[in-house]
Structure 1
Amino acid sequence: MIPEPLFSLALALEAGEWGDEARIEALAQTALEAAAADLTRNEAQPFPSEPPEVSLVLADDAMMTGINSEWRAQAKPTNVLSFPAFPLTPGAMPGPMLGDIILARETIEREAGDLGKPVDEHITHLVVHGFLHLFGYDHIQNEDAEKMEAIETRILTSLNLSDPYGDIEPV
């Protein structure tokens, strides 16, 4: 028996050359399922019986620069931005819409090259990172950053991917 998904994914290609959308969607689905399963198992994160929706927006650097400028007063692209539909703290029950995760293709490709890792692996990491932000995890304070990074590392390890932060101790 196939378990019911803990969320539904809506993919929107808004800007940029992303290639095979079905491949990106499958990559994101796998990353999000692993993240949701980990949060349920290890962080006691509840999910409603009706799976909430996550919107994954595929953008380019120009679009991301506009969004980043408008919402964060930083007129430059960034790799990922997350916009929760409703404020949520870790462990709280989410509503019907979790929120949006926006990815910028050129920045992701450049960073993957700088890190010497496959683009798909970097996309997977950023989808997980953005998903955690939708649940209220952040990395502003050192203690919060350590917790979030350890959860990300644990999730990525479950997908047989490398630790993006180095030698973080799993929580």
Structure 2
Amino acid sequence: MTGTATAEANAPRVSVDVVVDLPAWRKAVKGPVALCERAVHAALEDGLADSPLAGRLRPDRGLEVCVALEDDASVRDLNRDFRGQDKPTNVLAFAALEDGDGHALPPQAEPWDDGDDEPEMLGDVIVALETTREEATRDGKTLADHLTHLVVHGVLHLLGHDHQDDAEAEVMERLETRILAGLGIADPHAPARDPGIGDNERPDITK
């Protein structure tokens, strides 16, 4: 068995729940549910092994992730109520369990013999349509590609990856670039073509 086959065999079962309450998302992106599911699976397959949660999740249980495609108003409310930022943003990630600093913690382990084979809830990723669409237009990307990037970014946060300092940001950016390349999407962190944007300016992505 090859290394890739072994990794696939050991990968956790993943259940993805994509909620599209905003009809405009279905008009803006073809097949948003399938797109988000693909992004979640790719992020977990490549991002779990080196994440802070690696080895801390129960091997006998799968994982569950919820992705909600919302509008700016809904995301602004969440950002204000839970992050203390009264403004819309492109993506928010809420781990099922977080410490006081907002860092992801592993789900609470139930007794090993409880017989419960339901998946562990990893958390939620919420994406705002208007902000995401404006960024995609500004940066010359398709909305589908930018949505995929934001979902991958959010799932990596659920796994405990972060970008609080330059070292963390560099690791996370490399990981995102690798995952997206596997999905056929260009490096979102490559220097901008617009000479008005600094080469070292990172995309405005938040938790």
TM-score where L is the length of structure 2: 0.70
Partner of 2:168: 144
Partner of 1:124: 148
Shift in Å at residue 93 of structure 1? 5.8
Partner of 2:25: 18
Shift in Å at residue 25 of structure 1? 1.3
- Tell me whether 31-40 or 76-85 shows the greater mean CA deviation: 31-40
Where 1:97 maps in the other structure, the secondary structure is: strand
Unaligned runs of 5+ in 1: none
User: Given the alignment of the two structures, is residue 158 of structure 1 paired with residue 165 of structure 2, yes or no?
Assistant: no
Where 1:56 maps in the other structure, the secondary structure is: strand
Structure 1 moving runs of 4+ over 2 Å? 2-6, 13-16, 42-50, 87-90, 92-95
Question: Match for 1:6 among 13, 25, 33?
Answer: 13
Shift in Å at residue 7 of structure 1? 1.4
Partner of 1:78: 89
CA distance in 1, matches of 2:46, 2:37: 14
1:15-164 equivalent positions in 2, closer than 5 A: 15=22, 17-19=24-26, 23-40=31-48, 43=50, 45-46=54-55, 48-87=59-98, 96-164=120-188
More helix per residue: 1 or 2? 1
Once the two structures are superposed, what CA deviation does each residue of 1:101-156 show, in whole Å capped at 9, x if it has no partner?
A: 00001111110000101100000000000000001111111111111111111101
CA distance in 2, matches of 1:59, 1:69: 15
Q: How many residues align?
A: 165
CA distance in 1, matches of 2:81, 2:88: 12
Q: Is the contact made by 1:52 and 1:94 (CA closer than 8 Å) also made in structure 2?
A: no
Q: Is the contact made by 1:16 and 1:58 (CA closer than 8 Å) also made in structure 2?
A: no
Shift in Å at residue 14 of structure 1? 3.4
- Tell me whether 55-64 or 27-36 shows the greater mean CA deviation: 27-36
Shift in Å at residue 73 of structure 1? 1.8
Taking only the aligned residue pairs, the percentage that are identical comes to: 40
TM-score where L is the length of structure 1: 0.84
Q: Is the contact made by 2:47 and 2:159 (CA closer than 8 Å) also made in structure 1?
A: no
CA distance in 1, matches of 2:18, 2:30: 9
Unaligned runs of 5+ in 2: 1-7, 109-119, 192-199, 201-207
Where 1:76 maps in the other structure, the secondary structure is: coil
Larger radius of gyration: 2
Shift in Å at residue 87 of structure 1? 3.2
| Paired residue type of 1:158 | G
Instruction: Mark the CA change 1:57 to 1:71 in structure 2 (over 3 Å): closer, same or farther.
Output: same
